[in-house]
Amino acid sequence: MRNIKPGDVVGRKSYNCDVFFKVIEFFINDSGKNYAYLKGLNLRLCASAPEEDLVRIEPSALTKNLLEQAKSNNEHMKRIFSRRVREREIILGRVVPKERGKGPLDGFDIPGTVLHIDGDSDYLDLCLTTYRQLSIPANGYCIEEARQPEMIEALLNKHNPDLLVITGHDGFIKGRVNFSDINNYHSSKYFVEAVKAARRYEKSRDDLVIFAGACQSHYESILAAGANFASSPQRVMIHAYDPVFVVEKISYTSIYDRISIKDIITGTITGIDGIGGMETRGKYRMGIPRSPY
């Protein structure tokens, strides 16, 4: 009888429990040893580990971790809303000059729309909740990474989004040594094929903005396939919310403005080691006047 069960939150003793994982299932490897398939609790990482290397995370440590993550997320949200207020005033002043003797007219927001395809249902739910909190119109589908390429075209036809997120779990396969070989990654080849399928639907990087990748993904190949932004330049782990914070900045930046790569990346949790890309136009439009009805 195992002490650790699927669904338990664990750490790997060989890594000093630096990352918290959820146990997905157990399996027998080629040597006949008991192994567990793991997914990151806060990081978009998949891994496997021998059962004896696992230790269950105590409830107090898990609670502390979850509170720290919630605090970090809330701080990011506050910065986003503060930035939006400043930028909205600038855009409104540019669109509607203040009339003499009257207060300024108010406008209404038309942010870019998002289609989010995620290989992890838990992360997808968290991201969709965050999109709602950030007032970003978004549709989401949980599709395992290997099936994402075949599903992309139909979903793009159905929703015709401004921004596409293709993500889930990834990781450099333990024991491999060549970081340039895409076959040494769990899911990078699927992300590449999904991006290629999306670019067959819409070639322009301005008309359809794409973020793709997860932890340690093959950054160069994903960008070469047609993504605007991807992970992970330094093959580091990225946070579950990083894709949301990337597309939020684009969704709420005016169509008249190009966004510097620095501005987008500094808005993520992981930063430039985990996220990179290219200059991209915003997708936000302001409408005037706001109807009283």
* pLDDT tens, residue by residue, 20-53: 999 989 998 878 889 998 988 888 887 888 999 9
* pLDDT tens, residue by residue, 259-282: 888 888 888 888 899 999 998 999
Which residue ranges in the chain fall short of pLDDT 50?
A: 1, 101
d(CA 202, CA 177): 35
CATH code for the part of the protein at 73-96+104-287: 3.40.50.2300
Q: Please report the pLDDT score of residue 195 as a whole number.
A: 98
Q: Please report the pLDDT score of residue 101 as a whole number.
A: 46
Closest CA to 230 of 176, 156, 280, 173: 280
The vertex-163 CA angle with 161 and 165, nearest 5°, equals: 110
Q: Please report the pLDDT score of residue 73 as a whole number.
A: 77
